[in-house]
Amino acid sequence: MLPSRLPRPLRLSLFALAVAILFLLCVLPSDTLPDPGTGDRFEHSAAWFVLTATGYLLAPRRVLAIPTFALAYGVLIEVVQGFVGRDSDLRDVAADAVGVALAVGLFLAARRWRAAR
């Protein structure tokens, strides 16, 4: 069964869980998080790629809503980080946008490929 065929409340719950996990990772004190050694910008891009891709898996018809939410969420996270003692940096929002753009590009390419088959 495709994730997009799950009941809507379950899909919303799964996406909300992904959003909540990302929120916790972004607002916890940075010294309590493991450092994978990949760099903050890469981590932002990867996290927002996963968030956007998860949204598309769960709601593939929300072509504009998913990336719009992800970008707005990235801005919100940076504002919140400024209030909780973490660095608030517009370059993180740019990295988020890169991850979102990669997910959108992959989604659109896959959709075009499926339509051509």
Name the H helices within 1-117.
Answer: 8-27, 40-58, 65-83, 90-116
> Is residue 24 classed exposed, middle or buried when 0-12, 13-18 and 19+ CB atoms within 10 A define those classes?
exposed
| pLDDT greater than 80 at residue 34 | no
Distance in angstroms (rounded) separating the CA atoms of residues 95 and 66: 17
| pLDDT greater than 70 at residue 30 | no
| pLDDT greater than 60 at residue 37 | no
Confirm if 22 and 47 have CB atoms less than 8 A apart: yes
Alpha-carbon Rg for the chain in angstroms: 15
Chain-centroid distance, C-alpha 113: 23
Q: Comparing 35 with 65, which gets the higher pLDDT?
A: 65
Q: Counting every residue, how long is the chain?
A: 117
Tokens for 6?
């799950």
Tell me the mean pLDDT in the region 34-47.
76
Tokens for 100?
């979102």
Tell me the mean pLDDT in the region 73-80.
95
| pLDDT greater than 60 at residue 7 | yes
The mean pLDDT value of the chain amounts to 89
Tell me the mean pLDDT in the region 28-33.
67
Tell me the mean pLDDT in the region 38-59.
90
Residue 45: half-sphere exposure toward Cβ, Cα within 13 Å: 12
Total-model pTM: 0.88
Confirm if 58 and 14 have CB atoms less than 8 A apart: yes
| pLDDT greater than 90 at residue 55 | yes
| pLDDT greater than 90 at residue 29 | no
Give residue 23's pLDDT: 95
Give residue 85's pLDDT: 81
